[in-house]
């Protein structure tokens, strides 16, 4: 997985600090300058970097760090804690409905990985919690989308509900009824994406949301698009309100800017990450593990 460049640069900065023994405030500030550059090069949002570095510096120039026996190590520990907090602290789980099927509405731009990762997530919920998911084809504009959902459904042996090119709001409503009648306790709505965020797309998503009141709206974004992924997250959250993010293609993301910025930029947690094309390549997002990996 990603972040090699960032790891390397951060570790180089920390090596210098560790090598010094006693540290002055000036040493810390010099080290933080390198941290700042490393994060900017990793495509982390400017404001996120600025706030992060200010927070870390504040903690690192305190007497308890500078006068300690191992100031370099203390600083690495602080950076680890702050990176973890930046990505949301503890891992955020999916909420299950207390009554009736849990409805997860998958939204995102075209090509982000909505269809495959909706299916992956359904498979994960079956594996982890014994759920009986239903996949629903609400993307009626591209005939290939319905077919693609059927293909992945078949591969995972998860049923697919479709009504051809019918009205997506109607399809979503009928799918929820079908799920109740057939003992499916989770419904994954595969909604339409567009190349760009536009009003027509948002209006349709809002109408589906109003009709079926999803338990979770998960935004699917492509990690490889960096700050565009962060911008998409902000735009979808403002227009629709999202509950969390599924960050895909982390396996191909060499920089890590989206993973590090989304939480701070939108206030919404990354809940899952896609780590490859295969249908079992999805994981819960653990901020702490990710921070350790970056500093590892
Ligand atoms: P949609 O248009 O948002 O529904 O996107 P798709 O689900 O069709 O995915 C677009 C492409 O991204 C497909 O070729 C997927 O196999 C690929 N893809 C999805 N998730 C991942 C991932 O986590 N890693 C990699 N490497 N490829 C992925």
Choose among 162, 274, 268, 145: nearest CA to 218: 268
CA of 222 to the centre of ligand 1 (A): 8
Q: Which helix (H) or strand (E) holds 66?
A: helix 63-66
Summary mean pLDDT of the chain = 94
Q: Is 151 in the pocket of ligand 1 (CB under 6 A)?
A: no
- The response to whether 57 counts as a known ligand-binding position is no
Nearest ligand 1 atom, CA 273: 23
- Average pLDDT of span 261-265: 93
Residue ranges of E strands in 214-292:
216-222, 244-248, 270-274, 282-284
pLDDT of residue 273: 96
pLDDT digits (tens, 9 = 90+) for 180-238: 999 999 999 999 998 888 899 999 999 999 999 999 999 999 999 999 999 999 999 99
pTM above 0.90, yes or no: yes
Q: Is 113 in the pocket of ligand 1 (CB under 6 A)?
A: yes
Nearest ligand 1 atom, CA 118: 7
pLDDT of residue 2: 67
Query: pLDDT category, 1, cuts 50, 70, 90?
Result: low
* CB atoms near residue 250 (< 10 Å): 24
- pLDDT over threshold 80, residue 146: yes
pLDDT digits (tens, 9 = 90+) for 26-64: 999 999 999 999 999 999 999 999 999 999 999 999 888
- The response to whether 115 counts as a known ligand-binding position is yes
pLDDT of residue 148: 96
Classified as helix, coil or strand, 251 is helix
pLDDT of residue 65: 87
pLDDT of residue 183: 97
pLDDT of residue 91: 80
Distance CA 127, CA 185 (A): 14
């Amino acid at each position: 997985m990603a972040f090699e460049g960032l790891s390397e640069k951060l570790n180089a900065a920390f090596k210098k600090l560790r090598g010094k023994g006693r540290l002055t405030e000036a040493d810390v500030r010099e080290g933080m300058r390198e941290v700042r550059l490393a994060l900017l090069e990793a495509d982390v949002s400017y404001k996120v970097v600025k706030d992060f570095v200010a927070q870390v510096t504040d903690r690192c120039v305190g007497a308890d760090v500078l006068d300690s026996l191992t100031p370099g190590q203390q600083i690495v520990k602080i950076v680890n804690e702050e990176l973890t907090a930046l990505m949301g602290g503890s891992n955020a789980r999916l909420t299950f409905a207390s009554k009736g099927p849990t409805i997860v509405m998958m939204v995102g731009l075209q090509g982000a990985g909505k269809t495959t990762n909706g299916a992956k997530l359904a498979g994960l919920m079956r594996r982890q919690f014994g759920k009986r998911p239903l996949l629903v084809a609400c993307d009626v504009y591209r005939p290939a989308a319905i077919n693609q959902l059927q293909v992945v459904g078949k591969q995972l042996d998860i049923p697919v509900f479709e009504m051809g090119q019918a009205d997506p709001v109607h399809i979503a409503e009928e799918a929820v009824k079908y799920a109740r009648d057939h003992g499916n306790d989770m419904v994954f709505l595969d909604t339409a994406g567009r190349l760009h965020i536009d009003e027509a797309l948002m209006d349709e998503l809002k109408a589906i949301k109003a009709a079926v009141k999803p338990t979770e709206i998960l935004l699917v974004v492509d990690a490889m698009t960096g700050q565009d992924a962060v911008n998409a997250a902000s735009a979808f959250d403002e227009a629709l309100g999202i509950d969390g993010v599924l960050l895909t293609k982390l396996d191909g993301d060499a920089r890590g800017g989206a993973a590090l910025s989304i939480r701070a930029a939108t206030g919404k947690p990354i809940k899952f990450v896609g780590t490859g094309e295969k249908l079992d390549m999805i994981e819960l997002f653990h901020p702490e593990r990710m921070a350790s990996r970056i500093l590892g």
